[in-house]
Amino acid sequence: MSKITERNLVVGLDIGTSKISVAVGEITPDNQLSIVGVGNQPKTRYG
């Protein structure tokens, strides 16, 4: 059986005219922001 772990996540999403960007962070127990992941993708003509 899986153990459920609660995480305090913050997500930023930017949908611009030429690309889409995202950043995911986790609030640590000492109230610091730890970056979990980032990503971006150029927008296509049809996307």
What is the pTM (predicted TM-score) of this model? 0.76
How high is the pLDDT of residue 32?
97
Query: Using one digit for the tens of pLDDT, what is the confidence trace for 13-35?
Result: 999 999 999 999 999 999 999 99
Beta carbons within 8 Å of 13's beta carbon, 6+ residues apart: 20, 21, 22
Show me where the domains of the chain are located: 9-42
Beta carbons within 8 Å of 11's beta carbon, 6+ residues apart: 22, 23, 24, 25
Six token digits for residue 32: 């610091």
The C-alpha atoms of residue 11 and residue 46 are separated, in whole angstroms, by 25
How high is the pLDDT of residue 2?
79
How high is the pLDDT of residue 3?
86
The mean pLDDT value for 29-46 works out to 93
